[in-house]
């Protein structure tokens, strides 16, 4: 019964993954843009229409666009399972996989640290606010949460970069583009990365902290009024024992979901933030791929982002399985 659940979740994930591959392939092709035209704009050459058509046809053949969509799809899937994401349309036709792997760490630096920081501060403050229910710490949280969660992170980013970056000059408004090519794991370089990452992380995490704090506060309050907490109190257990072994184990469940879903959301959010701060990660890569109708690169980035989201969801499901014994029985009762 236990293994059933795990296998079911994994199969489920695999099915969604197949759907993702398919959507990834067809979504860029919905656009009317002709990639061949993109690389050889008509006004640049002084060639005749026939010559131009010939070049476009050659380009299509070279990029594999002359075949039917289904044939291209079959080839794409075949290559995908041998670990090949194809080559970008960019000059020099670099491998998509290599381009992504080069940028991925920079995006992970932003999103993982944002996630950990916001979860840590949010959960801590939320627990505190729940214990201070109705007092200043609590009402301030609830009052500010509406504004801060409604405010898109790129607005916060613009304000921060204006005030802290441009105005006061404490942090750089733009990420140092040299940083990413010269990175060598020395302490100075790590410090430099953190210095450059400060504003993007702060602007992404503000809403996140408040979100975590509010949902933690609410689940602590709900769990605290559960009957088993009264039982724990009637057992004369110490307050910290009640908090850590009875309250925490139960309120962590919704937090786990939030954390994992937050990961997929953050990577999406990073796309915009990276653009604002000129951070050379997956987001910037994705925007440029779109602007250039670089199908293979678009597909590759989307595949990576959706795989991360899928893995995060699977991890959340499996963590639930570990944390909540009721799930192990298939949630039948």
Residue ranges binding other proteins (CB under 8 A): 226-228, 230-238, 241, 245-246, 249-250, 323-326, 329, 333
Cβ distance to other proteins smaller for residue 54 or 329: 329
> Minimal distance in Å, beta carbon 219 to other proteins?
14
Residue 80: Cβ-neighbour burial (10 angstroms; 0-12, 13-18, 19+) = middle
> Minimal distance in Å, beta carbon 239 to other proteins?
8
> Minimal distance in Å, beta carbon 318 to other proteins?
16
> Minimal distance in Å, beta carbon 117 to other proteins?
27
> Minimal distance in Å, beta carbon 119 to other proteins?
20
Cβ distance to other proteins smaller for residue 93 or 233: 233
Cβ distance to other proteins smaller for residue 180 or 237: 237
CA–CA dist 201, 160 (Å, integer): 11
CA–CA dist 143, 153 (Å, integer): 18
DSSP 241: H
Residues with Cβ within 8 Å of 88's Cβ and at least 6 positions away in sequence, in order, are: 94, 95, 96, 99, 289, 294, 296, 297
If we measure between CA atoms, which residue out of 241, 236, 299, 318 comes closest to residue 88?
299
Cβ distance to other proteins smaller for residue 80 or 221: 221
Cβ distance to other proteins smaller for residue 242 or 298: 242
Yes or no: say if 300 and 97 are a contact pair by the CB < 8 Å rule. Answer: yes
CA–CA dist 84, 73 (Å, integer): 14
Cβ distance to other proteins smaller for residue 78 or 233: 233
Cβ distance to other proteins smaller for residue 159 or 322: 322
> Minimal distance in Å, beta carbon 233 to other proteins?
6
The two structure tokens encoding residue 241: 């024992």
DSSP 278: T
User: What does the angle CA 223 – CA 210 – CA 284 come to, to the nearest 5 degrees?
Assistant: 130
H helix intervals, 82-186: 96-131, 136-150, 153-160, 177-182
3-state secondary structure of 95: strand
Cβ distance to other proteins smaller for residue 131 or 307: 131
> Minimal distance in Å, beta carbon 261 to other proteins?
21
Yes or no: say if 217 and 123 are a contact pair by the CB < 8 Å rule. Answer: no
Give the sign of the dihedral formed by CA 194, CA 197, CA 199, CA 201. Answer: negative
> Minimal distance in Å, beta carbon 220 to other proteins?
14
Cβ distance to other proteins smaller for residue 169 or 325: 325
> Minimal distance in Å, beta carbon 139 to other proteins?
16
CA–CA dist 207, 198 (Å, integer): 15
């Amino acid at each position: 019964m236990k293994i059933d659940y795990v296998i079911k979740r994994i199969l489920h994930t695999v099915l969604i993954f197949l759907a993702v591959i398919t959507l990834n392939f067809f979504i860029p092709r919905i656009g009317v843009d002709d990639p061949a035209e993109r690389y050889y704009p008509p006004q640049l050459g002084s060639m005749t229409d026939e010559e131009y058509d010939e070049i476009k046809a050659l380009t299509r053949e070279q990029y594999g666009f002359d075949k039917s969509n289904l044939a291209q799809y079959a080839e794409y899937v075949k290559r995908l399972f041998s670990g090949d994401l194809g080559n970008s349309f960019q000059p020099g036709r670099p491998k998509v996989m290599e381009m992504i792997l080069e940028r991925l760490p920079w995006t992970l630096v932003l999103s993982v640290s944002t996630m950990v920081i916001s979860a840590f501060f949010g959960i801590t403050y939320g627990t505190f606010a729940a214990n201070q229910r109705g007092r200043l710490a609590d009402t301030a949280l609830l009052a500010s949460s509406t504004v801060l969660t409604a405010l898109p992170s790129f607005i916060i980013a613009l304000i921060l970069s204006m005030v802290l970056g441009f105005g006061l000059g404490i942090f750089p408004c733009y990420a140092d583009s040299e940083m990413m090519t010269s990175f060598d794991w020395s302490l100075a370089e790590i410090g430099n990365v953190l210095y450059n990452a400060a504003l993007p992380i702060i602007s992404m995490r503000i809403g996140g902290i408040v979100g975590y704090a509010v949902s933690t506060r609410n689940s602590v309050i709900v769990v605290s009024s559960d009957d088993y907490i009264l039982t724990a109190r009637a057992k004369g257990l110490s307050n910290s024992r009640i908090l850590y072994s009875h309250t925490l184990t139960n309120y962590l469940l919704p937090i786990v979901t939030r954390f994992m879903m937050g990961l997929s959301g953050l990577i999406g959010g990073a796309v915009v933030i990276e653009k604002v701060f000129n951070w050379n990660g997956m987001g910037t890569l994705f925007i440029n791929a779109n602007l250039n109708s670089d199908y293979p690169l678009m597909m590759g980035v989307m595949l990576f982002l959706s795989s991360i989201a899928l893995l995060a969801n699977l991890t959340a499901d499996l963590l639930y399985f570990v944390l909540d014994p009721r799930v192990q029985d298939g949630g039948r009762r």
